[in-house]
Structure 1
Amino acid sequence: MAYASLLSLNQTLEQIPCPDDQTEQQIMRNLYENVSFFLSFLDVSSPKNSDKLRGLEGRIRDAAYEAEDIIESHMSNQILSESGSHQDRTESHISNQIISDWDQKFERLQKIIQELDSISDEVVKMWERNEIHVVQPSNSLPTASSKYPSTNNIVVGYKKYLKDIEKLLITPHSELDVVSIVGMGGIGKTTVAEVIYYNEYFADQFDVRAWVTVSQEYQEQEVLRGLLKSLRGLNHESDEESIEKLAENVSKSLKDKRYLIVIDDVWEIETWNQVKSFIPDNLNGSRIILTTRQPQVARHASRFCRPYRLRPISREESWKLLIMMVFGEERCPPQLVKIGITISGKCKGLPLVLVLIGGLLYKAERTPDYWKYVARNIGSAITDRGYNILDLIDFIYNQLPHHLRACFLYMGVLPEDYEIRRSKLNELWVANRFIKPDRSKSLEEVAEECLKDLVDRNLIVARQVSYSLEVDTCSIHDALRDFCLMKSKEEKFNSHVEYLPGVHDNLRQVSILTDLKNQIPTFALAHNRDLRVRSVTFFFRNSPSDIHFITNFRLLRVLDALTVRFEEFPVEIVELVNLRYIALTYWMKHRFPASIAKLCNLETLIINPGKFRSIFNTSFLPPEIWKMSRLRHLLFLRSYLPYPTDALKGGTFVPLENLQTLSNVINFRWTKEVLEMMPNLKKLVISYEHDGRTEWSSYCFDNFVHLLQLEVLKCIFFAKCYIKYQDPLPVNFAFPQKLKMLTLSGCRISWKHMTVVGSLSNLEVLKLKFHAFEGSVWELNDGEFRRLKVLLIHMTDLEHWNVDKTHLPSLQRLSLRYCYNLVEIPPRIGKIQTLEIELCECSTSLVTSAHVLMEKHWRYGHYGFQVRLPLWLSHYTFSSML
């Protein structure tokens, strides 16, 4: 963590103004030079130096942490004094106290610089004695930007298990049966279950499918919510329901249906019995797949068949899997084959080990010397007497470039088996200052590269991947999470807190996984002083009254409290002026106090409405929001953003030059003045409520074309309840050329004006909802939609869609929903051999035309062409085709 602490300190030093005092200037200059030296050194330091430098890195980390604590504490005191937060003391008294405090800390800062100078001398001497090595540039690294390993590759050696399990799932007996998959951690249980679960064949055999992960940290309510989410999709209404109500809803969702449910990672028989009690036996051939490490759990759960015990794969299969992970479809160079077979043999047939080593070799030097180095080191972790997975992961961790280590360890903050959105993870990395600035890229773009790198190394698992091959959600394997927790404690970096008084001065990240209700008084008495915690994340549904302890963390940067339900803005947090990231959940009263402007460092503000996701959950931002120049991301369900000049009435405001995401603002005017305030906006979600009186032109939609950095735009137009149809939008609607994703809803524009969208040269995803365009015929023009990959048309009066063979050459997915009048799929679209078509509530002739096209493709072996239908319709259609 030396690198992360230096990186954070470096960004802090770049933000502070130059001191007037010459001595202070020299001290800051010396500190900055030391930080720059160590960052440059660690950037080129070879992973082979890890053992030699471990002690020095610990000293660097501690020194950097302390220096940053001193500087940020002083800056926070200054900000609070200038904002008048100390109302009980006179201005002169506050000023004298701050000066006296800084004098004491300045002396300590000088000693820290002496410590860094000493470490720097030691590093130079080691370098001169050739005791440490630097990374040499290599042309043998893979050129691909990213890879997402197929689960079909990872199940090498388990094809027999798959066939047997699949047969059991469709056996004729009607009683509910459980197929248990048992084996040690990392053997591939979850992967085998995934391959079966996502097999499209079973979409036709079962009415519904669901997946829930139980894990060792079993929580009954979370398992029930997980089942409901999988069965129904996102279900925010379940957040506050009791266990009894949740269980009732699960039972109702499964009643009279033939279901396939995967219950992953069960540890105890008692846990299984509880989960099983929620699931009805409909006596219709429903099936459950259970995965567990415990043989006794597997035997107890399975009534009609023996558990399937996964065993290590063979040496030949191990070698096949390893080269798949490293080379994909390419051949292994001859000079690496012998040592590669040795490496795969040392992995003892354990898929997780092979996948991790494969990720390491994929990103590393493809030379015999380095591969021999890997073989020697994994041999010490995996012997004939067994293996220590944490030792192996420690070796892989030490091979990571320094700039990735904090990003990886931060995954330990998450609960077991937790999926996190890519965008949120990137924002958290940026807020915690794990990301090294690059003048040619935004911090979020660099964070995206770090995520792709960790996915390539198989250290982070891409759970959901978009059509543009971007990670949508990701998670981490249990064994890797265990390592992150162990290493984080060693590095004084992160801890899951179950007992608040255990929080100590050196801890930087805190993850709350439990109810803190009975611990607050003890904690308040034990900690009546400042703590150095930088990030607090709540994963347990604590009460707002139980989290006031966070005000002890005066240097806090990240407060992620989405699981805490507030009824009003917790105004006390505006004293935490170091905050960069805030995520809160409101039930109602979404009014922000003007004092939020005290949070001068705030970069991300996320407000979730929680249970009540309705028109009444609207956020009202204060005019002072226009003073917060460091804002990067503003995310709401509905929000009124005051117009800058109207709001401040001639007061001072600054361009929000850093703002990249704005979601979701209501009825906002996009004048030239506003565009100049948000020059770097990349993602925009806006809504307009038509009242029948306001002219659409007053909102200046034609100015969208001047948002030159915009890549994602979602525009929603709707009428008030007493207006049946609002007026169509003006034809001069215009969009910027950088746009990659566009969603339009309720615009009611004529199809003949679609050319304004079709001419967007970078557009990849287009979603047209609720009569976004109207008319009976859509005629495409030459040269339009050259890069479009995904097209959704939802609720339209369209009847005929004329497409030539030159149109939509890149289309991968076509989704048509509630298209009752559309007669057929354009035959020319059917020329795309890998097109996936999704149909929902469409005309019979449209469904028939889609299946005629699929039948033609399948006749020629083009099985990539797929048509997906609602389950009630798909049984009939497919059976008539076969």
Structure 2
Amino acid sequence: MRRQVFGNSEELERVIRIAVNDVENVIELKMHEYNLLKHCSRVGLPRQPLCDDLLPLVEKIDFVKRKMMRFVTLNEDLPSRDYLLGHSSSRRVASLNLENVVVGLEDDLLKVMRRLTGPPSSREIVSILGMGGIGKTTLAKKVYHHPEVRNRFDVHIWITISQEYQTRDLLLGILACIFQLKNEVQNETYRLAVGDEIKESSDDQLMDMIHKKLKYRRYLVIMDDIWSKGIWDLMTRIFPDDNNGSRIILTSRHKEVAEHADPDSNPHEMSLLNSDNSWKLLHDKVFGSQHDVCPCELEKIGKQVAQKCQGLPLALLVVAGHLSKISRTRECWDDVAKTISKIVSSEPDKCLGVLAMSYSYLPHHLKACFLSIGVFPEDFVIATERLIQLWVAEGFLRHERLKSMEQVGKECLEDLISRNLILVRKRRFNGELITCGVHDLVRDLILRQGEKEKFLKVTRTHDVITRFIDTASKPHVHRYSSHSRISQGDCWNSTSSLTRTLYLFNGLKHALRPSKQIPFLARFKLLRVLAILHYTFQDFPLEITKLVHLRYLEFNCHDDLQCSVSELYNLQNLIFRRHSDLPVEIWKMKLLRHLEVKKISSFPVPSSTYTTGSSSKLQNLEVLSDLSISCCSNEMFTRTPNLKRLKLHGAWEECRRDTISQTLNSLYCLTELEILKIKCSRKLYPHPLPSKYVLPNSLMRLTLRCTYLPWEDMANIVTLPNLQVLKIKDNGFDGDAWRLSDEEIFNQLKFLLIDRTNLKRWKAGSVNFPKLQHLVLKRCIYLEEIPKDIGEIYTLESIELLNCRTSAAKSVKEIQEEQESMGNDCLSVRIHDKPCKIQTISNDCLLISFCFVRKQNSYNPPNPSFVT
């Protein structure tokens, strides 16, 4: 007789989630039905009460509730099944002999050894961080068994925590390590007496015993595979700090655990192997490290195989094990190169199972955020802004007081990064995340787990789609993503009417009759996210306007946006990739938060007689792009009071001097505006006159391109109290001289970019830029020199010159030399004079890149290149 109703907590969670989804489906289907009836010409159509539809589901939920209570009662005193089976990520990795891997760990080993054997004398925590399978435990073992370490410490303790642990077992494991001391092992009577004492001791007594045994001894403790802050809080009190150089090493996938253990210590973060070390590891495991017998015809394809493992030792070992079992022919190795993903997936317990530990430990809302990344194609560089918009639209994020949904989304994303599940691709100079991605092995885990939980279905070729139609179309898959161009009929057959997300990355094949498009979109009554890329509808698809649950819409058509788009009253994100006039009905879309059109040439403001059922304001609109300058007015911006990001463009005939000044003045009422970009088409007047205008004080980032403002106009910008980033591109400012007085101070400016300008002379000093961190000058072919006082800015971290005069480069060298003569040796210079694709304009112009890096107060992004 089974004591458990459900096999484990994962199965219980899945049953509860299905029940909740069923209820949500019924409610939203009823909402869709009511919306259609509201627009129907016939009156008095019969409606089935919602309670009648929900009654069977309420009974189902009650049944699940009773079973759940029974499950909790029967299992509250039992250790988890995973623990009883000895399931731990460390054991799984050990089965691959990862402890024998030394390739690529030499530098890591040296750095950790220095921290163990060097200062300080107080007890120090050394955290080793990295994704599953990257070699954290391997590195810890190399340190643990190193002769220098064995001789330095009196006591050596190794305990593996893992996700599931028993406190008493951990304490007994520590005592077992302690009693390996020679003078105590030799005394059998003492050992037996201690054994009897341990059996009768409580956990608190065991902790006290450990503390006494370690007192005044120099010890090394390895806490391998630690997952939570709670276990650290429990264990740290048993390790005394006697100022004798004791050390504790933590290995974890979670950065927050390391920061909690010791906020003042920098964790040692492990990196993926480079291409050379990847090939060396693969080669050594297949052919043996002592014999270089790899045939020449296999070396090239072997390096390709290693490259596809993307530097993860765990994946390399799995593939190496497979290569060791097959014939050493080019044909066989070619097949391996084409099926790396399948080979890795064929060892679920050894490879994907290790990464699955990270997934199973995620909070429920982070599981959904993590799995949703599977909609993107392999090696896709994911814009974090788009990803967070999808999370908001799907309802994955939890509302928090005093935080916007974007802030919550960024915190969730950083949480996943700190757990080493998501890779950082690019950050801004201040550490803000721009793009991210996932390792291919992690993506395989996402696709496998997403399909298992009926969370997500991804198809990549037409053959895969066909099989899915035949075998898997009956289950309700809530999210569907296609990475190949498919027909509307395929999309109809391969998705469920209950699908909530439809992402078509390569668009649709043209219908047989383009004039009569198949209304395949009408069947997706519960759709929340619809993105159709690389496809253009001939006419505006009216069936989209019936999808009343849509929150995110991205598509394209040859028509302008139609007034009926306002029927999507739940829409939050509208992305339209073509020029368009906007209908006045847009003002009815009260939940709209992000409106992006390639170019908005007309955006009419409703008149005072225009009624929308409420005030004609877009209170929730935060992002607006790309609006024509001619549309800007005080009346419009007072109706969008919460704009945070605004992008403006101006055609040749619109960019008159008085028009630009008037536009800039109209922005003052946008008290929440943080990012402003203005791009005009061409220069109209060779000598624009300075004018006075006021920009919003909330502005943090400003980009001006082809606006040809006089440098004297900078007086209007220098007063902005929160401005941190200023970019001047393609003669955003015009004139050959920029002179700043001592009273003109950019109090918060951290990043300054000047790209392609006719500036010749620049007079400024450290007083003008007290907090500047990065200065970038590109294609400033007329600039003679950089002000010498720039070097006096204490916060300055880098200066970059690209395609500038040699005299300007010389002035930068002089700044560096002057700083060195004053004892400022933390300023380093790097010069790159590689050939530039941009044709130089004169012999006095060349490509030079300087980087001054102050070692203190500097941010080092994972990717050495940063953008703003």
- TM-score bracket, normalised by the shorter chain, equals 0.5 to 0.7
RMSD: 4.3
Q: Distance in 1 between matches of 2:424 and 2:726?
A: 24
- The answer to whether the 8 Å contact 2:454/2:475 transfers is no
1:697 shift after superposition: 7.5
Q: Distance in 1 between matches of 2:108 and 2:12?
A: 51
Alignment of 1:764 with 2:646, yes or no, is: no
| 1:798 corresponds to | 759
Q: Distance in 1 between matches of 2:707 and 2:644?
A: 22
Q: Distance in 2 between matches of 1:521 and 1:749?
A: 54
Q: Distance in 2 between matches of 1:355 and 1:759?
A: 49
Match of 1:340 among 222, 228, 239: 222
- The answer to whether the 8 Å contact 1:774/1:798 transfers is yes
Residue by residue over 1:362-411, the C-alpha shift from the partner in whole angstroms, topping out at 9 and shown as x without a partner, is 377789xxxxxxxxxxx9xx99x997232222222222223311111112
Q: Equivalent residue of 1:473, what SS? A: strand
| 1:715 corresponds to | 678
Q: Equivalent residue of 1:514, what SS? A: coil
Q: Equivalent residue of 2:748, what SS? A: coil
TM-score computed with the length of structure 2 as normaliser: 0.62
Residue by residue over 1:20-50, the C-alpha shift from the partner in whole angstroms, topping out at 9 and shown as x without a partner, is xxxxxxxxxxxxxxxxxxxxxxxxxxxxxx9
Q: Distance in 2 between matches of 1:576 and 1:699?
A: 40
Q: Distance in 2 between matches of 1:526 and 1:464?
A: 35
Q: Distance in 2 between matches of 1:784 and 1:123?
A: 66
Q: Equivalent residue of 2:534, what SS? A: strand
Q: Distance in 1 between matches of 2:479 and 2:549?
A: 15
1:51 shift after superposition: 8.4
Match of 1:871 among 835, 853, 856: 835
Q: Any stretches of 5+ residues in structure 1 without a counterpart? A: 1-49, 133-153, 162-184, 190-310, 327-332, 345-353, 368-378, 610-617
What one-letter code is carried by the residue in structure 2 that aligns with 1:592?
Answer: L
Q: Distance in 1 between matches of 2:78 and 2:584?
A: 60
Change (3 A) 1:875 1:524: closer
Match of 1:463 among 422, 425, 448: 425
Match of 2:43 among 60, 71, 91: 91
Q: Equivalent residue of 1:754, what SS? A: helix
Change (3 A) 1:388 1:128: closer
Correspondence list, 1:123-134, <5 A: none
1:685 shift after superposition: 0.5
| 1:74 corresponds to | 30
| 2:739 corresponds to | 778
Q: Any stretches of 5+ residues in structure 2 without a counterpart? A: 1-5, 81-101, 110-130, 147-157, 162-210, 227-249, 264-313, 322-346, 513-517, 851-868
1:359 shift after superposition: 4.3
Report which stretch shifted further, 411-420 or 730-739: 730-739
1:596 shift after superposition: 0.8
- The answer to whether the 8 Å contact 1:319/1:340 transfers is no
What one-letter code is carried by the residue in structure 2 that aligns with 1:512?
Answer: S
Q: Distance in 2 between matches of 1:482 and 1:781?
A: 58
Change (3 A) 1:342 1:125: closer
Q: Equivalent residue of 2:595, what SS? A: strand
Q: Distance in 1 between matches of 2:608 and 2:561?
A: 14
Alignment of 1:423 with 2:305, yes or no, is: no
Match of 2:529 among 555, 558, 568: 558
| 1:316 corresponds to | 142
Change (3 A) 1:863 1:571: farther
Change (3 A) 1:536 1:476: same
1:447 shift after superposition: 0.3
Alignment of 1:513 with 2:479, yes or no, is: no
1:429 shift after superposition: 0.8
- The answer to whether the 8 Å contact 1:778/1:798 transfers is no
Correspondence list, 1:355-434, <5 A: 357=253, 359=255, 361-362=257-258, 388-434=350-396
| 1:58 corresponds to | 14
Q: Distance in 1 between matches of 2:791 and 2:585?
A: 54
Residue by residue over 1:700-725, the C-alpha shift from the partner in whole angstroms, topping out at 9 and shown as x without a partner, is 53232221211111122345xxx742
Q: Distance in 2 between matches of 1:319 and 1:715?
A: 61
Q: Equivalent residue of 1:412, what SS? A: helix
Residue by residue over 1:212-254, the C-alpha shift from the partner in whole angstroms, topping out at 9 and shown as x without a partner, is xxxxxxxxxxxxxxxxxxxxxxxxxxxxxxxxxxxxxxxxxxx
Residue by residue over 1:476-509, the C-alpha shift from the partner in whole angstroms, topping out at 9 and shown as x without a partner, is 1112111111211222211113325233442111
1:80 shift after superposition: 2.3
Match of 1:601 among 547, 570, 574: 570
| 2:636 corresponds to | 674
Residue by residue over 1:720-776, the C-alpha shift from the partner in whole angstroms, topping out at 9 and shown as x without a partner, is xxx742884873322222222111123333323323322223222100123322332
Q: Equivalent residue of 2:772, what SS? A: coil
Q: Distance in 2 between matches of 1:319 and 1:591?
A: 70
Correspondence list, 1:133-212, <5 A: 157=105
Change (3 A) 1:786 1:319: farther
Q: Distance in 1 between matches of 2:556 and 2:612?
A: 31
1:456 shift after superposition: 1.4
- The answer to whether the 8 Å contact 2:140/2:222 transfers is no
Correspondence list, 1:277-316, <5 A: 315-316=141-142
Q: Equivalent residue of 1:708, what SS? A: coil
- The answer to whether the 8 Å contact 1:459/1:480 transfers is yes
Q: Equivalent residue of 1:828, what SS? A: helix
Q: Distance in 1 between matches of 2:583 and 2:609?
A: 10
| 2:399 corresponds to | 437
Q: Distance in 1 between matches of 2:493 and 2:370?
A: 35
Report which stretch shifted further, 659-668 or 537-546: 537-546
Change (3 A) 1:523 1:669: closer
Q: Distance in 2 between matches of 1:626 and 1:740?
A: 27
Task: Give the paired residue count.
Answer: 608
Alignment of 1:474 with 2:474, yes or no, is: no
1:825 shift after superposition: 0.9
Q: Distance in 1 between matches of 2:132 and 2:418?
A: 18
| 1:164 corresponds to | none
| 2:473 corresponds to | 503
Change (3 A) 1:751 1:868: farther
Percent of paired sites with the same residue:
29
Change (3 A) 1:523 1:416: closer
Q: Distance in 2 between matches of 1:763 and 1:466?
A: 16
Match of 2:668 among 705, 730, 752: 705
Report which stretch shifted further, 625-634 or 572-581: 572-581
Residue by residue over 1:774-815, the C-alpha shift from the partner in whole angstroms, topping out at 9 and shown as x without a partner, is 332321544722332211112333222222233323323222
- The answer to whether the 8 Å contact 2:506/2:534 transfers is yes
Residue by residue over 1:650-681, the C-alpha shift from the partner in whole angstroms, topping out at 9 and shown as x without a partner, is 66663211111101111244444323321211
Alignment of 1:836 with 2:798, yes or no, is: yes
What one-letter code is carried by the residue in structure 1 that aligns with 2:500?
Answer: R
Alignment of 1:740 with 2:697, yes or no, is: no
Change (3 A) 1:623 1:698: farther
| 1:579 corresponds to | 550
| 1:542 corresponds to | 508
Change (3 A) 1:110 1:414: same
What one-letter code is carried by the residue in structure 2 that aligns with 1:639?
Answer: I
Match of 2:561 among 592, 597, 604: 592
- The answer to whether the 8 Å contact 2:769/2:793 transfers is no
| 1:202 corresponds to | none
- The answer to whether the 8 Å contact 2:761/2:783 transfers is yes
- The answer to whether the 8 Å contact 1:569/1:591 transfers is yes
| 1:247 corresponds to | none
Q: Distance in 1 between matches of 2:730 and 2:814?
A: 28
Q: Distance in 1 between matches of 2:483 and 2:609?
A: 42
Q: Distance in 2 between matches of 1:679 and 1:402?
A: 35
Residue by residue over 1:402-460, the C-alpha shift from the partner in whole angstroms, topping out at 9 and shown as x without a partner, is 33111111122222221100101110111111100123111111001101111111111
Report which stretch shifted further, 62-71 or 396-405: 396-405
